[in-house]
Structure 1
Amino acid sequence: MAPSIVKLTPEQLSLFRRDFDLMDLDKDGKITPLELKTFMEALGETKDIPTEVDRIFKRMDINEDSVIDFDEFLIACQRKLRKDALRARFAVIDTDASGYISFEEAKAFFGFKQDNDLSEEDQEFLNAVFEVADVNHDGQISFSEFSRLDEQLEQLLEIEA
């Protein structure tokens, strides 16, 4: 099950439509690999453009018809917005900007005092969070693990709804 899609404001939708239309050079409602390549070259892209176009199409061409329509483009934009929002949430908890959430950072995020006097219930709660989230059991939660946990929680909420 895919993570939920971010709701777009009318302004965002308008901007995404503008961006799509800039890439849709023949105005047929679809972006072809050639149109994307031409657009990237016009922007002065210096990466290996054919490889980058292939990578983008693998990620965005959901129905694998060798073109990106506006719906596929919107889904990709929404996924990007969702990932950016998740990174921002992660950064709030990762107060030392190490790229990992430590037990102490999780404790502070959940509002527990920084001393070692956690109640047994609070300790069990934090241990359970780390048991589920810390997949590689290194004592910290990476962004990848945080993202996985977010998806699991979302799926649980969808089941309960």
Structure 2
Amino acid sequence: MLRRDRRLLLALPALLLTAGCFGTPRADEALEVYELKTGYDDGGVEAGQNRLLPTVSFKLRNKASRSINSVQVNAVFRVLEDPEELGSQSVWAIDYQGLASGQSVGPFVMRSRFGYSGEQARVQMFQHQGFKDVVVQVFAKQGGNQWVKLTEQVVDRQLLAIAPAPAKAAQ
């Protein structure tokens, strides 16, 4: 009986190591954000004022040696040095069929629903004394795991001309 227990104790670490090699990698370890562009998108006119919406566009690459599946991404926009969220958007980035090692997905275009508005031309709004920089944080969540931060960047003070990418909203 003692011998069997000893063999089991010796085999257990090998089994755990093997199981870890075949599991799904963590999103922050597997996913690389690239071709990241930030700026402000034309939010149209509301109540006679021009609107600017902070926007991020990016692609994801699976840099892990294994496939990753069921990943949501969330872009959170905040005014720099303000803990209050300005806006966010979540989308399904990778479905249950997965993204193979070395493969890419995107681009994803994500915007805050809230931004800046003013009577002046959009490009002039960046020079207004009330304009404050916005930071965007991109998070990922794989399956039932916790959200993990993939990247963070101050949104560039530039107008973007990015066509909206079709994306399924995360539930």
Q: Does TM, scored on the shorter chain, surpass 0.5?
A: no
Name the one with the larger strand percent: 2
Name the one with the larger helix percent: 1
TM-score (norm 2): 0.21
TM-score (norm 1): 0.22
- Greater RCO, 1 or 2 (C-alpha within 8 Å, sep 6+): 2
